[in-house]
Amino acid sequence: MLPKFSAFPGVAGPVVTIVLDGYGIGRSEVGNAIAAARKPTLDRLFAQYPHVRLRAHGTAVGMPSDEDMGNSEVGHNAIGAGQVYAQGAALVADAIAAGSIWAGPAWQEIVAAAKAGRGVLHCLGLFSDGNVHSHIDHLKALVARAKSEGVPTVRIHVLLDGRDVPETSALDYVEPFEAFLAGLNDAGFDARIASGGGRQNITMDRYEANWAMVDKGWRVHVLGEGPQFADCATAVRALREMHPGTIDQDLPPFVIAEAGQPIGTVQDGDAVVFFNFRGDRAIEITRAFEDAVFDKFDRQRHPKVTYAGMLQYDGDLKLPQRFLVDPPAIRNTTGEWFAKAGLAQFACSETQKFGHVTYFWNGNRSSKFEGETWQEVPSDVVPFEQRPWMKAAEIADAMIAALQSGQYRTLRCNFANGDMVGHTGHFRAATMAIEAVDLELARVLAAVDAAGGVALITADHGNADEMYEIDKKTKQPATNPDGSFKAKTAHTLNQVPLVLYDNVSGGRLGLRQTDTAGLSNIAATTANLLGFEKHASWDESLLTVK
Ligand code: 3PG
Ligand code: CO
């Protein structure tokens, strides 16, 4: 059991954590959709309530280096677990550097299966160096190792990024990679890109928001059905011409073919590695490969393959069964320890972020702890620049109802807008996204007051705080050939706020800024507000008590 907190008995009402996804503290007003938004609620919070800045990127959230931006997986893991674990990006890089990835049974089974079958290994995943879901260096290591272990044929299926990296950067990855393959290919080895498409168009759906994306991906990667091109760079150029203004993440699918025949369909006996390390957008395609019985779309063919994920994406569901690198063993989460303390917990978001406040929050577990209630608000299936308000109002409704029910000691929610709209690169839509959140936040906070509770308002990482690419030399927004600003669709490296919304302690409670304050300090802070000492493994609390 968590011991009682000696300095404070805990607030009488509920303790609420509100994650404003993609809400960073910008360094400049230029391209800052948060600064440009009309947001009286947030302005009031920063003017009147205790607040500090938290680190939400790089090593503070378990990424390999401080050059790495934060993301929702590592951010919600750190918030929910109260401690920092080396995350997938670091674990895979380390396993490759040490060579341990090749010694494990999963890789050996992949190689053995490919050789015993037609000699074909397929590598499928997000094709960039964003380091959020994958890293192209990991893919290169897989291909080179396959060659050195005598696999004769590798077929690579690429999901073009433009979301964790600049929006039209696909060829910056495709061209050097084709050259890398050309350097490896010889009489006994043939590695080529075989299919692909934009990551928001095919394959990488998450939380079952839109299975049709996975269906579209299956057709090109597995069945080889789709518009044919001679090579990947040609496909990207042609598709851009056919769909002007479409950024990489949204490009339609394509198949690489020779004499009308796709070069990389997946057949019985092949080996397949899904090389993303992050789980949310890896689970559906993994299920399409692994599930014996499957009703999400018509697979038409279900090839008998030896399949491995880069990591195991869901330890409860054992998905996938075979994986190259062990995932972080996230233990002693707040979800678990608050459950052990007998607290009723409520978690809510819309589909696009639902797993963030449940699965990621609880350390990549898809099952609930005792006393947890999860509520999902179905997301729209539209480009979010068309609906920047998303489901903020419905999430607020759910939170207000949960607060009014009096059933929950602690509640958490995620407003997706700043991030999901930030990723579209539409500045005006992003300001509206923040305005929608501001409006709904006011409603939730009124319900917190009515319940005699307190709220911590924070974010998992930045996004809407920088909507233009900044030219590294001039430090000014980079421009397109037509003079318009180049949109930035990725997350930022900025810090995020932590505000303590407290109208109940009479000014006794505050927050302290420390040099190392980061997302992993939220768990202990929440525990103290609930009247408990932190778990021994959690990073220190930021709560001050007068
Ligand atoms: C995505 O998956 O949408 C992006 O790669 C990262 O965004 P998230 O970490 O905010 O989910
Ligand atoms: Co994001």
pLDDT tens digits for 396-438? 999 999 999 999 999 999 999 999 999 999 999 999 999 999 9
- Ligand 1 atom 8: the closest Cα is on which residue? 72
Beta-bridge partner residues of 125? 158
* 2 assigned to some structural domain: no
Share of the chain above pLDDT 90, in %: 97
Q: What is the mean pLDDT of the chain?
A: 97
* 456 assigned to some structural domain: yes
Let me know whether 321 and 351 are in one domain.
Answer: no
| Region 145-163 average pLDDT | 98
Share of the chain above pLDDT 70, in %: 100
Residue 31, pLDDT score: 95
Looking at the predicted structure, is the pLDDT value of residue 471 above 90?
Answer: no
Beta-bridge partner residues of 256? 229
Pairwise CA distance, residues 169 & 489, whole Å: 11
| Region 6-15 average pLDDT | 97
- Ligand 1 atom 6: the closest Cα is on which residue? 71
Say which DSSP state 520 is in: G
Q: Which is the closest atom of ligand 1 to the Cα of 281? A: 2
Distance 157 CA to ligand 1 centre (A): 20
- Taking only the tens place, the pLDDT of each residue in 165-177 is 999 999 999 999 9
Residue 103, pLDDT score: 97
Residue 383, pLDDT score: 96
Q: Which is the closest atom of ligand 1 to the Cα of 164? A: 5
φ, ψ at 253 (rounded to 5°): -70, 160
Let me know whether 489 and 372 are in one domain.
Answer: yes
* Stated pTM of the model: 0.97
* 128 assigned to some structural domain: yes
- Taking only the tens place, the pLDDT of each residue in 217-269 is 999 999 999 999 999 999 999 999 999 999 999 999 999 999 999 999 999 99
| Region 298-318 average pLDDT | 97
Number of domains in the chain: 2
Let me know whether 372 and 475 are in one domain.
Answer: yes
Tokens of 329: 């063993």
Residue 256, pLDDT score: 98
Identify the nearest ligand to the CA of 19 by its number.
Answer: 1
Let me know whether 63 and 154 are in one domain.
Answer: no
- Say which CATH number the domain at 442 has: 3.40.720.10
What is the enclosing helix (H) or strand (E) of 182? helix 170-184
Let me know whether 487 and 419 are in one domain.
Answer: yes
Looking at the predicted structure, is the pLDDT value of residue 140 above 90?
Answer: yes
The amino acid occupying position 527 is: A
Distance 416 CA to ligand 2 centre (A): 9
Pairwise CA distance, residues 150 & 484, whole Å: 50
Among 28, 72, 349, 366, the active-site one is: 72
* 305 assigned to some structural domain: yes
| Region 505-514 average pLDDT | 98
Give the up-direction half-sphere exposure of residue 499: CA atoms within 13 A in the CB hemisphere. Answer: 25
Let me know whether 77 and 108 are in one domain.
Answer: no
Assign residue 241 a region: left if phi > 0, alpha if psi is -120 to 50, beta otherwise?
A: alpha
The amino acid occupying position 435 is: E
Assign residue 163 a region: left if phi > 0, alpha if psi is -120 to 50, beta otherwise?
A: alpha
Tokens of 401: 């109802």
Residue 476, pLDDT score: 85
Residue 474, pLDDT score: 84
| Catalytic residue list contains 72 | yes
- Last residue of one domain, picked from the residues 325, 340, 369: 325
Let me know whether 287 and 338 are in one domain.
Answer: no
Which residue segment(s) compose the domain that 222 sits in?
Answer: 89-325
Let me know whether 433 and 310 are in one domain.
Answer: no
* 136 assigned to some structural domain: yes
Let me know whether 399 and 481 are in one domain.
Answer: yes
> Ligand 1 — pocket residues by CB below 6 A?
71-73, 132-133, 163-164, 281, 419, 423
Distance 281 CA to ligand 1 centre (A): 9
Lowest mean pLDDT segment, chosen from 205-214, 276-285, 412-421, 482-491: 482-491
Distance 157 CA to ligand 2 centre (A): 23
Pairwise CA distance, residues 179 & 162, whole Å: 21
Identify the nearest ligand to the CA of 77 by its number.
Answer: 1
Q: How far is CA 333 from CA 8, 415, 527, in A?
A: 22, 22, 11
- Taking only the tens place, the pLDDT of each residue in 29-56 is 999 999 999 999 999 999 999 999 999 9
* 10 assigned to some structural domain: no
Residue 472, pLDDT score: 80
Identify the nearest ligand to the CA of 352 by its number.
Answer: 1
- Confidence class for position 480, pLDDT limits 50, 70, 90: confident
Buried b (16+ CB within 10 A) or exposed e, 516-525: ebbbbbbbbb
Let me know whether 338 and 219 are in one domain.
Answer: no
- Taking only the tens place, the pLDDT of each residue in 445-466 is 999 999 999 999 999 999 999 9
Per this entry, what is the length of the chain? 546
Radius of gyration of the chain (CA): 23
